[in-house]
Structure 1
Amino acid sequence: MPLPFPGSSVELQPEPSLTRSLAHSVVDSAIVRRRLRFLSVQARSKGVKLGMQSIPIATACTIYHKFFCEIDLDAYDPYLVAMSSLYLAGKVEEQHLRTRDIINVSNRYFHPGSEPLELDSRFWALRDSIVQCELLMLRVLRFQVSFQHPHKYLLHYLISLKNWLNRYSWQRTPVSVTAWALLRDSYHGGLCLRFRAQHIAVAVIHLALQAYGVEVPAEAEAEKPWWQIYTMDTEIP
C-alpha cells in the first residue's frame, strides 16, 4: 500500500546518481535550488503547525539544507528528510516532538481535510522510516547538528538600533517586524550555511531600513558604516 506523501518510500536506499553533462549543470543546479526552496518552505510550515519555536524551526531548515549539500537531492525522498529534520531539530533544541504528530501534520498538509492516519502497518512503516532517516542524517552530517543562529544577534542589534534612531521614525515604520520576517524567509534557501549569523542579522536590518527609506542618524558624517559597529568585518556594497 503506498504511503500518503508524494514520492515517499519506506526504503532508504539511495538511487544510482545520474552522470550529468557540463552543459546541463547550470540548469540542474537552478532546478535543485528551486526544489530545495519549495521543500524548505513546506518544512517550515509544518514546524509552525506543530507549534515549534523559531530556533527549532531554524535548526530543522539548516539540517535539511546541510544534508542536501552532502547528498544528491534525487538520492533520498526529500519529504521524508523534511519530517526527519523536524524530528531531529526538536531533540537538538529540546523541544521534543512526537513522530505521530509530525506524520499527521504532514499528512494533513498534503491531504487537507483528511483524518489522522490509523495506527496500521502503513503508519508504523512511515514512523520507522523517519527514525532510520534521522540516524542516516546524523551519520552524513557527522553528528554536527548544533548551529549558531542569527536570532539572538538580530534581537540585540534591533534593541540597540531602536535607541539610536528617532523614536517616531521607529514607531512609524515596521522595521523590526520586517527584519524578523526577512530572517525567517532566509531559511528557505542556504544562506544559513553560507554566511555567519552576525552578518545575516545585519543584512536583514539593512534591507528592512532600505525598504522603508529609514536612515540611521549621522550616517553620512560617520567614519564607518553603522553595521560595522556590530560586525567589524561586514562589507555591504
Structure 2
Amino acid sequence: MKNNLLPDLFTLTAIFEGMEDAVLSHDLDYIILNCNPAAEKMFGCPAPVLLGQNILTLIPESVRQEQLAILERVWSGERINHLYTVRSSKLQIDFPVSLTISPIRDEQGEVIGASHIMRDVTHERETEEKRGMLAAIVENSDDAIISKTLNGIITTWNGGAEKIFGYQERETIGKHISILIPRDRLSEEDVIIENIRNGNKVDHFQTVRLHKNGSAIDISLTVSPVKDRHGT
C-alpha cells in the first residue's frame, strides 16, 4: 500500500513545487511549516528562513487585524477565495496579492492549520489604474472617440461623440457606423476597414459625417487598429 501511494506523493510534490502561485502552510499558532519555490521568490526569502517564522511577519500591520479575523473564519472550516489584500517582502516592501486561504484538516477532520495560495497582482493593479486613467481621458475628451468591430458595429461612444454627433451612447452601441456616413461616402468605410485589417492607421482623413439631425459635419478622421496581446 505504501508503494502505491508514493507516486501520488511525488506527483503532488512536483505540482506544489512547480506552481507559479506562492503557497505557504502554517499551524494554529501561525508558524510556517511549508512553502514552495514561488513563495521563496515572492517574499525574497529561502525556505530555511521562511520555515519556522510566524506568518504574521509577512502581513503588514495595516491589515494584520483584518487577516486575523479572516483566519478565525478559516479555523471554523471556511475557505476564503480570491481576497485582495497586501503582503510584505523580506525588504519590508508591501505588494498587493490575490489570496485564497483553505483550512488544513487531520484524519479526524479537525482543522490543524491553513494553506495560503497567493498571486502577486501588482501588474494587474497597475494595468487597472492605467485603464482607469485612459478611460477618464477618453470620456472627457472633446474629440469624438468611437470604437467599432471590423464589421463596423459601434462598441464604445464617448462624451465628445455625443456632443459632435448628437446621439446618446445608448442610441449607438450595437448600431453600424454607417449611421454617421452619408450615402455617397459609404465606400470610404470599406477602404478604412481594409487598412485596419492590414494593421495600418488612417491618419487625419478629411471627410464628412452626419449629425443625428441629418446635417453634414466636416471632420478630420483618424482610425487606428485595436490589437490583442498577440498583435492580431
Q: Normalising to structure 1: TM-score of the pair?
A: 0.28
Report the structure number with the largest CA radius of gyration: 2
Higher helix share: 1
Q: Per chain length, whose mean CA-contact separation is higher, i.e. which structure has more relative contact order (CA < 8 Å, sep 6+)?
A: 1
Higher strand share: 2
